[in-house]
Structure 1
Amino acid sequence: MTNSTLYTCAVDVDAVDAIDMHVHLEIDECGHKSLPEDFYTASEKYFKADERTPSVDRIAEVYRGQSMAGVVFTVDARTQLGHKPNSIDDLVAGCARHNDVLIPFGSVDPRTGADALTEARRQATELGVRGFKFHPSVQGFDPSDREFYPLWETLEELGLPIVSHTGQNGMGAGLPGGRGIKLKYSNPLLLDDVAADFPGLTIIMAHPSVPWQDEANSIATHKANVYIDLSGWSPKYFPESLVRQASNVLSRKLLFGTDYPLIPAEKWVKAFNDLPIKDEVRPLIFKDNAVKVLGLADPVAAQEGVPS
């Protein structure tokens, strides 16, 4: 399916209670999944997920019912996995149908070289994605390698943020050799190089970065263009240093995220409510910080994809 409609964001930030910065769409309208089948079997066991591949319409129904908006994406890891992703065009078309609650991010395979730059521009200008998702371990690349600097330069020029996986990997967990996935590519220190060399590029380090949480805390504190989304872990398992700093130096750097459908929002929120985090910080984490990162506070920025 080819989507000819440019996505425009219609999220009313005053009408939603939270913005989930980390939602996966892993199947397209043709039934094609983003990853080989053994990844789903292993991740279902690892996360104990009930509904592994909901449609975009189902995702919209879930988030609308909870008065939340969600940033939706997939991952293009065709080179590493030998498996094409689910359709980005389908993903954006679905988000366009539900643009009151869904915000699409694109994805390109950095290992496809110049084609990745062309595709990133297409997704930004022709589809209207609001950012990009990367998973260095699943995609099999070192984000600090200068081979990939043209991609970061392109995304910086487009003014679009990136979400990049850090820390422990649920994908491939429990499989022989972790299904070939190498954890070293998810060390957040590799993104510190990118943040330093591309200060105009907003970088969201996805997940508590176990076993490198102190490194992630330091990077987010040091670099104005770096944030942390809190997806992929139940808050009851968050590293102590992350919880402690959430109420002070990281209060404006943390973003609500679940990893849905692997972790449902209601389950995440229930555990988060038990953490010793200041009441005045909670609205920042649930919505206000995301509004800034996504440019939703400025109607012009929201349409153009430029963070405020």
Structure 2
Amino acid sequence: MSATADAVRVFRQRLGLPGLVDVHTHFMPERVLEKVWDHFDAIGPLTGVEWPITYRLEEEQRVALLRDFGVRAFTSMLYPHKPEMAAWLNAWSAAFAARTPDCLHTATFFPEQGVDAYVHQAVEAGARVFKAHLQVGGYDPNDRLLDPVWGLLAEADIPTVIHCGSGPVPGRYTGPAPVARLLDRHPRLPLIIAHMGLPEYADFLDLADRHPTVRFDTTMAFTDFSERFGGFPPADLGRLADLGDRILFGTDFPNIPYPYEHQLAALERLGLGDPWLRAVCHDNGARLFMLDG
């Protein structure tokens, strides 16, 4: 067992957790993942901030690592950057979930003709969580082509992990305003704001105050790496405590520039207490995805 697995095991045992539920991990077709890794490799020379991929391993090794870490459920977050890509990704992720029973069947979409049909097909096939990436996809979540998609997901109560914050770089449709308009039109939509909405933390917390179906994932938030680019405002720590039943553990594994256990350490040092940590790292996700029946 690796040093990281040992550190995660000590964390779990101290809290009495049966495991972790990580709602933000990436598994996708190998050639797509390699392009994602190429993107992160190029960030250093362009920005001066290196982003080494800590877990640049074969798929089977990555799955085995999560199991060694005690992750009892994880996702295969994947996303299109152009039309005529999402349905193919969904077919791949359905096959991945079928051969990986601890992966929550994940699907995605893009504003294009036929999107309602392939999203309906994914739901019928058992998709339990969707991924929307406004930054990479470069689309408005309020695109009329997506209206039937949001309506279906709201009716089916299937959550969407949505990258809508403006970090690490802003996009045309990132930030809280497009999501606020979306929730005004679909107020029962179960959204999970990726990365805690980094860096617009407070604005997304305001949205959660108005919309009880809005949740957050902790992916990369509060870590040493992310705090350099717009730290979480200390004045809002109390709001994290108040929303403790709507915050879910996420990591961005394998595409993280630090060991897996650092995300856990970053959450622990917030000082919000063991009950909060237990809820965030396991109980909220287990309840949302009905892991215990």
Residue of structure 1 aligned with 2:220, choices 228, 232, 256: 232
Residue of structure 1 aligned with 2:211, choices 223, 236, 245: 223
Report the Cα offset of residue 43 of structure 1: 5.0
Deviations 1:123-172 (A, max 9, x none): 2213x2211100112111111344432221122233311110022344xx
Alignment of 1:180-199 (within 5 A): 183-199=171-187
Asked whether 1:48 is paired with 2:47, we answer no
Alignment of 1:90-169 (within 5 A): 90-99=92-101, 101-110=102-111, 112-113=112-113, 115-126=114-125, 128-169=126-167
2:63 paired residue number: 60
Cα distance between partner residues in 2 of 1:26 and 1:88: 10
Deviations 1:281-301 (A, max 9, x none): 11111111112322335x3xx
Asked whether 1:74 is paired with 2:75, we answer no
Tell me, yes or no, if the aligned pair for 2:79 and 2:89 is still in contact at 8 Å: no
Tell me, yes or no, if the aligned pair for 1:32 and 1:86 is still in contact at 8 Å: no
Report the Cα offset of residue 21 of structure 1: 0.9
Cα distance between partner residues in 2 of 1:34 and 1:108: 21
Cα distance between partner residues in 1 of 2:210 and 2:58: 38
Tell me, yes or no, if the aligned pair for 2:106 and 2:130 is still in contact at 8 Å: yes
**Cα 1:243/1:235, change in 2 over 3 Å:** farther
Tell me, yes or no, if the aligned pair for 1:189 and 1:216 is still in contact at 8 Å: no
Q: Which TM-score applies when normalising by structure 2?
A: 0.79
Cα distance between partner residues in 2 of 1:270 and 1:21: 17
Residue of structure 1 aligned with 2:275, choices 274, 280, 297: 280
Cα distance between partner residues in 2 of 1:83 and 1:145: 18
Residue of structure 1 aligned with 2:252, choices 245, 255, 259: 259
Secondary structure of 1:24's aligned partner? coil
1:4 paired residue number: none
Secondary structure of 2:22's aligned partner? strand
Tell me, yes or no, if the aligned pair for 1:22 and 1:71 is still in contact at 8 Å: yes
Cα distance between partner residues in 1 of 2:286 and 2:80: 26
Cα distance between partner residues in 2 of 1:36 and 1:65: 25
Cα distance between partner residues in 1 of 2:60 and 2:152: 31
Report the Cα offset of residue 224 of structure 1: 0.8
Tell me, yes or no, if the aligned pair for 2:220 and 2:252 is still in contact at 8 Å: yes
**Cα 1:55/1:133, change in 2 over 3 Å:** farther
Deviations 1:220-273 (A, max 9, x none): 1221110011103353425024533222x2111211111111234312112222
Q: Percent identity?
A: 22
**Cα 1:56/1:159, change in 2 over 3 Å:** farther
Report the Cα offset of residue 78 of structure 1: 1.9
Letter in 1 for 2:108: S
Count the aligned residue pairs.
Answer: 265
Residue of structure 1 aligned with 2:266, choices 271, 279, 290: 271
- Show structure 1 runs of 5+ residues with no match: 1-13, 174-181, 300-308
